[in-house]
Amino acid sequence: MSLLRRISPKTTTIVSFIALIIFLPLLLLAVYRTGTLVSRATGTPATIVVNAKAVLPQQVRTDFYHAFAQGGEEANDMLAPVVNQVRLLKPKLIRLDHIYDHYDVVGRQGGALTFDFGKLDIAVNTILATGAKPVLALSYMPTVIARDGNIINPPTNWDDWAQVVQKTIEHYSGKAGKNLSDLFYEVWNEPDHAQFGGWKLSGEKNYLTLYQYTAKGAAGAQNVNTFSLGGPSTTGLYKNWIIALVESGTRIDFLSWHSYLSNPKQFDTDQRHITSWLLAYPQYTLLSKLITEFGFTGGKDTRYGTSYGAAHTAAVVRQLVTSPPMYLFSFQLKDGPNQDAGDGWGLLSHETKGKSPKPRYFLFSFLDSMAGNLVNLTGEGTWVTGFASKQGQTLRILLVNFDPDGNHTETVPVTVKDVENGSYGYRERFLQGRVSPPDSEPPLKELVSNGSLTKQLFMPAQSIAILELIKQ
């Protein structure tokens, strides 16, 4: 008799049940993973529709992204070699940190502190020469007052820190000093980061104590122009830090944080979060918000030197354009030295590498052509997003195809409806690692006779385009 005949139906049922228990979770996991991969692979393609008559009263702010941060990879005036190229970016604000440990501001003679702003003034003057105002991150602790001489430690005497802050504000905002108005002073840089102190909201290294004595120094500044004080300048937007600061009862003129997020849509989510958190604190809901560093990753990455970095920046601007922070600071303007791997954060390479501009450098003037009133746009997809604006007789549509995985291409149908019939000029411009004048190529002739116009736009991975429809 065969083996199969010797096994009873009851035994077969039991064995099958046990096998099902063992393998069902694995089967479900495989199905889940397959479904996830299919979803990621397919996503939602864009079908863009712009209503030409739905012109909104809100203007496109083209100033909020003209802010930049420069890191401290060299203890000198890093921007001096690239001042002319930075000027062409039309920066509004340029942020500096390491102002005390890189520029030898604070000394001690006998029992008194001494101050020499000469080296820092050189860096600030370079910023002013670009047409921007400086944003000074009050960091790090001067060695002469720091506990154990460590620049990421608290001071041995908190009143010494208050005096440092007071003298700094009097020098730059003081009417008898540099006489600069409306400066932003940010309390520390990434205090929660271990590299910069690993500050907490309690204990020996309490950021709230640091902020309190900073505010005390600011309050003591005499004969000064209007200025703003704020923070916490954390590595991300953290509710506990924001709430602790607003509940501290200390002077706060703006809230700041850093955003290194690969998903551009998270920037919009963060804006909604902080708005909701502050609803319980009405006096703080209208505080200015500054994202004082941003990018797709906080680590060095060769993609910062490619169209990937430019597309990510454009996708972030799209997410923020309808409800932007006061300023969004791109990190950073110029690479540090020894970037042989090409993985620096800069919009420009180091002078030893030719001060070469990267694709992100050209993006800002490209985006500026979107000035005008917002126009209703629908049909964004997983990868292709955008917004529309109208200025005079010209309707513009900005589209960006940003794929975090770096390989998605798409042909996007773009329809402009409710268009007045007549003759139009039509132009497509792509960011090509350079910026051509808007009229560098003559527009194509288009005749609209049925109130709408449809185009098919092929968008390679990490591409950015502006479509222009010009009433003749």
The candidate with the shortest Cα–Cα distance to 363, out of 400, 336, 395, is 400
> What CATH homologous superfamily does 67-368 map to?
Glycosidases (3.20.20.80)
| R_g over Cα of the chain | 27
pTM, to two decimals: 0.90
Q: What is the pLDDT at residue 459? A: 97
Q: Are 404 and 306 in contact (CB under 8 A)?
A: no
The candidate with the shortest Cα–Cα distance to 379, out of 42, 46, 44, 45, is 46
Q: Can you tell me whether residue 129 is helix, strand or coil?
A: helix
Between CA 451 and CA 458, with CA 452 as vertex, the angle to 5 degrees is 170
The candidate with the shortest Cα–Cα distance to 324, out of 387, 240, 376, is 387
Between CA 345 and CA 355, with CA 118 as vertex, the angle to 5 degrees is 30
Q: Which residue matches tokens 């849509």?
A: 265
pLDDT tens for 140-152 read: 999 999 999 999 9
Domain boundaries for CATH 2.60.40.1500 within the chain: 44-60+371-471
The candidate with the shortest Cα–Cα distance to 186, out of 136, 119, 252, is 136
Q: What is the pLDDT at residue 439? A: 61
Q: What is the pLDDT at residue 434? A: 55
Domain boundaries for CATH 3.20.20.80 within the chain: 67-368
Q: From start to end of 5-98, where are the E strands?
A: 48-59, 67-70, 93-96
For 133, the enclosing helix (H) or strand (E) is strand 133-138
* Residue 233 dihedral angles phi and psi, to the nearest 5°: 60, 40
Residues of the chain predicted below pLDDT 70: 1-41, 433-440
User: What is the third-level CATH fold of 44-60+371-471?
Assistant: Immunoglobulin-like (2.60.40)
User: Amino acid identity, residue 303?
Assistant: R
70 bridge partner residues: 96
Separation between Cα atoms, residue 297 and residue 34, nearest integer Å: 28
Distances (CA, A) of 313 to 82, 285, 295, 361, 444: 21, 26, 7, 11, 29
The candidate with the shortest Cα–Cα distance to 399, out of 315, 306, 456, is 315
The DSSP secondary-structure symbol of 431 reads: -
For 426, the enclosing helix (H) or strand (E) is strand 422-430
Q: At what angle do helices 307-320 and 265-277 cross, to 10 degrees?
A: 40
